């Protein structure tokens, strides 16, 4: 079922991306943007954490701990001065802490995060050197499964994850053109998506990279 949802989402996103064409061939903003990027990731927007009662461990909690390194690519089909349709995929790993009432030990495991975003970009600033956009996005987020937390002297706690769809979020970005067809990019991508009801993640990517337009 996870694979079917992922393939369906990607297929619809690719078809939507390829089906969008500029209204006029002479539109100077029409064309493609290809970006590669990397940067810091974490749970920067939401701050709440989940607590729950486990039959073995009693009062328990999970929490994304700290930040990680993430990277990815995106392809945008620009079809007017204002609008573009963007498909992006990223990857990161985040540490997750598990605490419980039986001991004071904090157990950890690594959560692998693979988000795929589809965004409608509104390009609000367009100059010879700068192109700033903001847009709503939906995402499909896949996680590794399960997470395993080893607690000394206690049974191992396993946490099943559930791929998130649809995750709703927001993207902000800036292209700084160094040449006519290439330059630096800066972006902020957030999606409201959790690994399950007791592991709140809401992954956010803050990145810098390089852009080519053609």
User: What does the pLDDT look like over 157-195, one tens digit per residue?
Assistant: 999 999 999 899 999 999 999 999 999 999 999 999 999
Contact between 89 and 115 under an 8 Å Cβ cutoff? The reply is yes
Query: Rounded to whole angstroms, how far apart are CA atoms 161 and 111?
Result: 10
Query: Rounded to whole angstroms, how far apart are CA atoms 38 and 208?
Result: 6
Burial class (CB in 10 A: 0-12, 13-18, 19+), 159: buried
Residue ranges and CATH numbers for the domains of the chain are 2-213 (2.40.160.20)
How many CA atoms lie less than 13 Å away from 65 in the CB half-sphere?
12
In this predicted structure, the answer to whether residue 17 has a pLDDT above a threshold of 90 is no
Average pLDDT for 127-151? 95
Contact between 71 and 38 under an 8 Å Cβ cutoff? The reply is yes
Query: Vertex 28, ends 212 and 36: CA angle to 5°?
Result: 15
Question: What is the pLDDT at residue 18?
Answer: 52
Encoded tokens for 101: 């009432």
Average pLDDT for 107-126? 96
In this predicted structure, the answer to whether residue 7 has a pLDDT above a threshold of 70 is no
What's the mean per-residue pLDDT of the chain?
Answer: 88
What percent of the chain is modeled with pLDDT above 70? 87
Contact between 117 and 110 under an 8 Å Cβ cutoff? The reply is no
**pLDDT band for position 22 (cuts 50, 70, 90):** very low
Question: What is the pLDDT at residue 25?
Answer: 42
25-83 residue pLDDT tens = 446 778 999 999 999 999 999 888 889 999 989 999 999 999 999 999 999 999 999 99
3-state DSSP assignment of residue 11: helix
Question: What is the pLDDT at residue 28?
Answer: 73
In this predicted structure, the answer to whether residue 6 has a pLDDT above a threshold of 80 is no
DSSP secondary structure letters along the chain: -HHHHHHHHHHHHHHHHHH---SSTT-TT-EEEEEEEEEEEE--S----EEEEETTTEEEEEEEES-EEEEEEEEEEE-SSSEEEEEEEEEEEEEEEEEESS-S--EEEEEEEEEEEEEEEEEEEE-SSEEEEEEEEEEEEEE-S-EEE--TTSPPEEE----EEEEEEEEEEEEEESSSSEEEEEEEEEEE--SBTTB----EEEEEEEEEE-
């Amino acid at each position: 079922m996870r694979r079917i949802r992922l393939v369906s989402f990607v297929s619809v996103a690719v078809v939507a991306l390829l089906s969008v064409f500029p209204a006029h061939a002479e539109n100077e903003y029409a064309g493609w943007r290809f970006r590669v990027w990397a940067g810091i990731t974490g749970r920067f927007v939401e701050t709440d954490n989940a607590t729950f009662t486990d039959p073995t461990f009693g009062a328990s909690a999970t929490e994304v701990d700290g930040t990680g390194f993430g990277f990815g690519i995106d392809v945008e089909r620009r079809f007017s001065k204002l609008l573009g349709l963007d498909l992006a995929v990223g990857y990161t790993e985040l540490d997750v802490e598990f605490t419980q009432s039986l001991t004071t030990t904090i157990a950890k495991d690594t959560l692998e995060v693979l988000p795929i975003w589809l965004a409608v970009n509104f390009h609000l600033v367009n100059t010879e050197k700068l192109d700033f956009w903001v847009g709503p996005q939906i995402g499909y987020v896949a996680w590794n499964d399960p997470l395993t937390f080893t607690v000394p002297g206690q049974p191992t706690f396993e946490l099943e994850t559930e791929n998130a769809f649809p995750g709703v979020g927001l993207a902000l970005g800036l292209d700084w053109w160094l040449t006519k067809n290439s330059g630096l990019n800066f972006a902020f991508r957030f999606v409201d998506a959790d690994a399950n009801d007791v592991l709140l993640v809401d992954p956010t990517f803050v990145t810098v990279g390089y852009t080519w337009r053609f």
